[in-house]
Amino acid sequence: MRNRVRKKTESQAVKDRRLGLLLMIPVVIVVFVIMGLPFIRAIYWSFTDKVIGAEANFIGLDNYIELFSDKIYWKSLTNTLIYTVLCIGAKLLIGLLWAVLLNQNFKGKGFFRTALLIPWALPGMVAAMTWRWMYDSTYGIINSLLMDLGIIDLPIAWLSNPKIVLFSAIIVNIWRGVPFFMFSILGELQTLDRQVYEAATVDGAGVFKQFWYITLPSIMPVIKVTTLLSTIWTFNDFENVWLVTGGGPLYASSVISTYTYDMAFIQNSFGRALSVASSVIPILIIMMLVFSRFAKKDE
């Protein structure tokens, strides 16, 4: 009798699995048509001399070989890595700090939660144009405040000095991205059992020990997922850099996304542009594999 029940259960599980796979076929087809085909075409065009209004001629690895001797490409790749690492590190630390603070009970907490969400809620164009005005060396409020406080004597060229222009874009990305980390972590903090902290307090554990041994391990899964998503978005960030700095001056703030746009729509070299974009796919794959393996260690 038990064997019959077990066989029926296994056969039903097989049928359910087949039905699930069958129902997924339309979704897979739609995703392949919408995303797969354009991706395959883009990869193919990266091996051609494609320009707007002309047929693409296959040229093999010429576009990729030229990248190795392209100083602007290596500058853009280096800027992309610096931009990603600094932005993610700052957003994680600041977001974690704000999440821990907002998880406490104090007067005006609702106001601060709403105010800190504004950078994330603002449209990218509005945020970028606002920061461009704030960075303006003549009329910008940042230089005015710094000069009024006596910190600087002359206006700082935030957007025209090659040495600091990339960091100007980094500041804007951090400002916009902190709320994503903050509210993701805050949501997880609010699910933690307070009795665990009460028991730790009774055992003599201080605030820092409670955070290190209880809070941090408990919210680590959310931190990992949030960091992975934000890393992918930041690595591919185009809107913020292009609208704030335009990738200049002299490609000082150029990243892979803005250099790809420059090659495609300003220099009219689609093949080269797609080879630039395709060249970072292995980096993104490695990043996701590393994050995935890191996430599985604590499971």
The predicted pLDDT at position 171 comes to: 95
pLDDT in tens, 171-217: 999 999 999 999 999 988 888 888 888 787 887 778 888 888 888 88
Query: What does the alpha-carbon distance between residue 200 and residue 149 come to, in Å, rounded to a whole number?
Result: 46
The predicted pLDDT at position 76 comes to: 94
Which one, of 65, 53, 87, lies nearest residue 231 by Cα? 87
Cβ partners under 8 Å of residue 212, min gap 6: none
Which one, of 220, 143, 145, 227, lies nearest residue 181 by Cα? 227
* Inside any domain, residue 50: no
Which amino acid is present at 5?
V
* Inside any domain, residue 25: no
Domain that holds residue 108: 70-296
Which structure tokens are listed for 30?
């739609």
Percentage of residues in the chain with pLDDT exceeding 90?
Answer: 35
Calculate mean pLDDT across residues 233-251. Answer: 92
Which structure tokens are listed for 34?
């919408």
* Inside any domain, residue 86: yes
pLDDT in tens, 254-284: 999 999 999 988 888 888 999 998 999 888 8
Is a pLDDT exceeding 60 seen at residue 7?
Answer: no
Polymer length in residues for the chain: 299
The predicted pLDDT at position 31 comes to: 78
Cβ partners under 8 Å of residue 57, min gap 6: 48, 49
Band (90; pLDDT cuts 50, 70, 90): very high
Which one, of 85, 52, 104, lies nearest residue 211 by Cα? 104
Is a pLDDT exceeding 80 seen at residue 296?
Answer: no
Band (299; pLDDT cuts 50, 70, 90): low
Band (239; pLDDT cuts 50, 70, 90): very high
Per-residue burial over 229-249, b = 16 or more CB atoms within 10 Å of its CB, e = otherwise: ebbeebbbbebbbbbbbbbee
* Inside any domain, residue 44: no
Count of domains observed in the chain: 1
The predicted pLDDT at position 4 comes to: 57
Is a pLDDT exceeding 60 seen at residue 8?
Answer: no
Residue 99's domain is classified under what CATH number? 1.10.3720.10
Calculate mean pLDDT across residues 155-183. Answer: 93
Query: What does the alpha-carbon distance between residue 212 and residue 275 come to, in Å, rounded to a whole number?
Result: 45
* Inside any domain, residue 205: yes
For the question of whether the overall pTM of this predicted structure is more than 0.75, the answer is yes
Whether 278 contacts 271, CB under 8 Å: no
Is a pLDDT exceeding 60 seen at residue 22?
Answer: yes
Burial of 206 (0-12, 13-18, 19+ CB in 10 A): exposed
* Inside any domain, residue 216: yes
Is a pLDDT exceeding 80 seen at residue 93?
Answer: yes
Query: What does the alpha-carbon distance between residue 238 and residue 217 come to, in Å, rounded to a whole number?
Result: 33
Is a pLDDT exceeding 60 seen at residue 110?
Answer: yes
Which amino acid is present at 12?
Q
pLDDT in tens, 144-154: 999 988 888 88
Residue with structure tokens 């280096």? Answer: 78
* Inside any domain, residue 60: no
Query: What does the alpha-carbon distance between residue 242 and residue 165 come to, in Å, rounded to a whole number?
Result: 12
* Inside any domain, residue 191: yes
N-terminal to C-terminal alpha carbon distance within the chain: 38
Calculate mean pLDDT across residues 30-44. Answer: 82
Q: Kindly write down the DSSP assignment for every residue of 38-81, as one continuous string.
A: HHHHHHHHTTB---TTS---B-TTHHHHHHTT-HHHHHHHHHHH
Is a pLDDT exceeding 90 seen at residue 56?
Answer: no
Band (104; pLDDT cuts 50, 70, 90): confident
Cis before 162? omega within 30: no
